[in-house]
């Protein structure tokens, strides 16, 4: 019995003994020199991982990387590194101090160190999971590589919001985006988990890589949101690692533990599943996805037209800095995505891709150079010559000479061919006239769909997303390199003339716009009496459904949405080549994308103004409760009508109630705009949000938004601010003044 107890006790001591051996010589003051015979400072107890210096593979360098790697695989696959920006030269020293790890070059210059440990470090360990940990006297972790990841995650690694590496952005979603070096300019994310939730209890807190190869976001309510496929890989048979590769694909790899081959890594799953479909929106990832014309010598195909002080403000996708003018030209020439490069400030190169929109002359650019890529003349790229029949007389002479010089059979064949050709020409010309008659004042980057294609896309128009006065919106799925959800708006055809006007108006307006707070149109269909528009799908529905269907969304999100709508309207009113008045701003026309960004939709009621126009007269447009008083007074209509509607909408966002609720027992609350002013005047703003704790804790911004809303709903449009002034007040650039009473007769207008 004593022997059995001794054996059991001995077995329990084995891991501790092995652990002691692995850290035996690593005490405060210990050091390791790069380039010595043994560049490994320590190994994990099971021998799977090693920590130390790895020599970089470039033949012309003698530099080293402080790393953790798989020790039993011949190619020493790296899973963590410290000093990628400042490689350590031969003779550099790594030292363990009470402040942590310090890496210096042979001259004593510091290359890298662990930050914020303030003398708390007393020991170090590399555990079997590959986590390198610094501990204090009480064996508590004070720093670890699992909390400071680079491009690889290992099984059991948990990454919190504040500890994720540069390629992740973890708030309540997981995003991947590219960063332009050396400028640090961040592109739009090319992948997102779509896990945003306005409910704080559902917000993501941790990114977890479990021991079986699964990856998920853990929310505050302990709910798991899986990012990977449902899999279970045996960790007794395979090494596992998740790595963000150079092409932007995040991939789970496995490697047999009993294999000595360095080629043993195989893919289990990856996100995104097809990076080529994402490179359409992010031009950094073009390897394997590039256009066919990308060649080693693009100067044979393209040249640059040089312009001065021209800009397309919303087409940037890369900032390269510091760059010379020649670097800028060359970079754009070698990039198949680059249509224009703008060289500014003597060292900044902004690359822009199609579609170029909102182009303008801007003297404020102070002589910046624009390099516009244009195709050189090249006969091999020209289409084949077209035979043109100049006139009827010469045609008859040609036909007669052929007929009389040929046999009867050939004559018949020729006559038949001529008849077919003639009918084809007439049909073609007819179609061409129909196309030319269409009022497409848009850049032709919209896809033209066949009606049958959209019918199939929507499964026979079976899933309705919403409807309005001019049509019904259906959900559909199309394939544009990958399966993509879309919203198909089918316009009513009971009044073809009105539908035609609506269709062309909406197509023209949306085709001319490009802004992150506007819904993007993908294409259209014009088939006999049917008119349809295809939009990007907005996964989180309308603002109305968010505000009025139960629990209030968080205050921060509501503020974010209010800002987004204002910026979208500013673009429509002042930043488009053609000024646009929307005329129907309301919660049902504000859609929410994957990240709950506000996107203005439904331009069917928009009124287009030329840049030299500021007002127009028209029949009443809009929705009751949101219509500005000037519509009823036969007054000129300006962009201030949208400001009025925005003010009503802003008060709805603040209070999470509809602007008109006539069923309320308290009639004083029936009209939101009047009640909001009464609450403000009487110092009773708590009632407006019904004790919304988050809003009341942010009292300064809460009061400011209410005041801005009251300014926007002034009956006199001359008192109302412009949307630019509204945006400046929201951003705190312009001081918000005390508003006057909107109007004693606002009620009769609001109830329209």
Residues 331, 340: Cα–Cα separation, whole Å: 11
Nearest to 156 by CA among 222, 93, 241: 241
Nearest to 454 by CA among 472, 433, 432: 472
What are the residue ranges of helices labelled H in 623-669? 640-655
Neighbours of 115 (CB within 10 A): 10
Residues 371, 708: Cα–Cα separation, whole Å: 43
**Does 490 appear as a known binding residue?**
yes
Nearest to 331 by CA among 278, 283, 288, 289: 283
Residues 737, 722: Cα–Cα separation, whole Å: 15
**Residue 572 per-residue DSSP state:** I
Question: Helices 640-655 and 672-681, interaxial angle, to 10°?
Answer: 70
Nearest to 281 by CA among 240, 346, 337: 337
What are the residue ranges of helices labelled H in 352-442? 392-404, 408-437
Neighbours of 38 (CB within 10 A): 9
**Whether 273 is catalytic:** no
Place of tokens 């030299």: 612
Q: What is the DSSP string of 694-720?
A: HHHHTHHHHHHHHHHHHHHT-SSTTTS
609: its two tokens: 């103004």
* Identified catalytic residue from 584, 593, 642, 692: 584
- Answer whether the bond into residue 280 is a cis peptide, omega within 30°: no
Residues 408, 71: Cα–Cα separation, whole Å: 88
CA-based angle 474:477:483, to the nearest 5? Answer: 155
463: its two tokens: 């899933």
Residues 270, 228: Cα–Cα separation, whole Å: 8
3-class secondary-structure state, position 240? strand
Q: Which helix (H) or strand (E) holds 687?
A: helix 685-689
680: its two tokens: 């403000």
Instruction: For residue 124, report the phi and psi dihedrals to the nearest 5 degrees.
Output: -140, 150
Neighbours of 99 (CB within 10 A): 17
The sign one gets for the Cα dihedral 100, 103, 109, 110 is negative
| Distance of alpha carbon 356 from the chain centroid | 18
**Residue 616 per-residue DSSP state:** B
- Answer whether the bond into residue 272 is a cis peptide, omega within 30°: yes
Q: What is the DSSP string of 436-487?
A: HHS---S-S-SEEPPHHHHHHHTTTTT-EEEEETTEEEEEEEEESSSEEEEE
3-class secondary-structure state, position 387? coil
Residues 134, 122: Cα–Cα separation, whole Å: 8
In the chain, what's the furthest Cα-to-Cα distance? 122
Nearest to 64 by CA among 83, 81, 88: 88
The answer for residues whose C-beta is within 8 angstroms of residue 746's C-beta and 6 or more apart is 629, 671, 673, 674, 713, 715
CA-based angle 568:574:579, to the nearest 5? Answer: 95
185: its two tokens: 């300019």
* Residue positions forming the annotated binding site for ATP: 490
- So which residues are the catalytic ones? 584
* Residue positions forming the annotated binding site: 490
């Amino acid at each position: 019995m004593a022997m059995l107890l001794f054996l059991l006790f001995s077995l329990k001591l084995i891991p501790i003994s092995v652990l002691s051996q692995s850290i035996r010589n690593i005490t405060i003051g210990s050091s390791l020199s790069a380039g010595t015979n043994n560049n490994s400072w320590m190994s994990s107890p099971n021998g799977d991982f090693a920590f130390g210096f790895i020599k970089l593979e470039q033949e012309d360098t003698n530099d080293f990387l402080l790393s953790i790697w798989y020790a039993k695989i011949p190619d020493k696959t790296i899973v963590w590194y410290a000093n990628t920006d400042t490689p350590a030269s031969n003779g550099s020293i790594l030292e363990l101090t009470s402040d942590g790890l310090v890496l210096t070059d042979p001259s004593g210059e510091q290359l890298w160190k662990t930050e914020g440990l303030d003398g708390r470090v007393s020991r170090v360990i590399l555990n079997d999971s590959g986590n390198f940990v610094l501990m204090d006297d009480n064996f508590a972790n004070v720093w670890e590589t699992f909390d400071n990841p680079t491009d690889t995650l290992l099984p059991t690694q948990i990454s919190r919001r504040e500890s994720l590496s540069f390629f992740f952005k973890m708030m309540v979603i997981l995003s991947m985006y590219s960063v332009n070096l050396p400028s640090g300019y961040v592109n739009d994310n090319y992948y997102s988990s779509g896990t945003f939730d306005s409910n704080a209890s559902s917000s993501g807190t941790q990114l977890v890589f479990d021991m079986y190869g699964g990856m998920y976001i853990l929310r505050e309510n302990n709910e798991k949101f899986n990012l990977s496929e449902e899999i279970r890989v045996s960790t007794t048979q395979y090494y596992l690692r998740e790595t963000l590769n150079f092409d932007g694909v995040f991939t789970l790899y496995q490697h047999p533990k009993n294999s000595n081959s360095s080629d043993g890594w195989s893919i289990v799953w990856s996100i995104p599943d097809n990076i080529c479909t994402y490179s359409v929106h992010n031009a950094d990832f073009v390897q394997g996805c590039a256009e066919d014309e990308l060649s080693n010598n693009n100067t044979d195909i393209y040249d640059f037209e040089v312009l001065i002080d021209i800009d397309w403000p919303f087409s940037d996708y890369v900032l390269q800095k510091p760059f010379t003018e020649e670097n800028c030209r060359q970079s754009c020439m070698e990039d198949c995505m680059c249509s224009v490069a703008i060289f500014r400030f003597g060292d900044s190169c902004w690359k822009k891709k199609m579609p170029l929109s909102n182009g303008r002359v801007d003297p404020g650019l102070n002589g910046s150079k624009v390099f516009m890529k244009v195709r050189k003349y090249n006969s091999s790229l020209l289409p084949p010559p077209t035979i043109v029949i100049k006139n009827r007389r010469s045609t008859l002479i040609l036909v007669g000479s052929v007929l009389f010089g040929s046999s009867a059979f050939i004559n018949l064949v020729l006559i038949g061919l001529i008849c077919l050709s003639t009918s084809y020409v007439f049909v073609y010309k007819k179609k061409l006239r129909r196309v030319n008659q269409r009022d497409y004042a848009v850049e032709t980057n919209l896809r033209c769909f066949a009606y049958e294609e959209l019918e199939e896309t929507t499964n026979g128009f079976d899933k309705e997303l919403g409807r309005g006065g001019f049509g019904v919106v259906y959900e559909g799925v199309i394939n544009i390199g990958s399966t993509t959800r879309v919203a198909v708006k089918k316009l009513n055809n009971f009044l073809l003339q009105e539908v035609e006007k609506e269709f062309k108006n909406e197509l023209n307006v949306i085709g001319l716009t490009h802004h992150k707070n506007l819904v993007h149109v993908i294409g259209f269909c014009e088939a006999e009496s049917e008119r349809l528009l295809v939009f990007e799908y907005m996964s989180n529905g309308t603002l109305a459904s968010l505000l009025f269907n139960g629990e209030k969304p968080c205050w921060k999100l509501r503020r974010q949405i209010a800002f987004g709508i204002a910026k979208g309207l500013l673009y429509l009113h002042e930043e488009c080549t053609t000024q646009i008045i929307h005329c129907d701003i309301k919660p049902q026309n504000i859609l929410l994308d994957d990240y709950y960004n506000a996107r203005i939709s439904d331009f069917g009621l928009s009124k287009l103004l030329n840049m030299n126009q500021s007002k127009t007269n028209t029949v009443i447009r809009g929705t009751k409760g949101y219509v500005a008083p000037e519509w009823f007074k036969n007054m000129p209509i300006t962009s201030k009508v949208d400001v009025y509607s925005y003010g009503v909408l802003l008060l709805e966002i603040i209070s999470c109630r509809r602007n008109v609720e006539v069923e309320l027992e308290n009639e004083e609350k029936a009209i939101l705009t009047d009640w909001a002013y009464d609450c403000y005047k009487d110092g009773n703003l708590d009632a407006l949000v019904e004790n919304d704790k988050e809003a009341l804790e942010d009292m300064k911004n809460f009061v400011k938004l209410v005041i801005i809303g009251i300014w926007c709903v002034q009956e006199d449009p001359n008192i109302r601010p412009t949307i630019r002034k509204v945006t400046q007040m929201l951003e705190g650039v312009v001081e918000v003044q005390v508003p006057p009473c909107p109007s004693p007769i606002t009620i009769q207008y609001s109830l329209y």
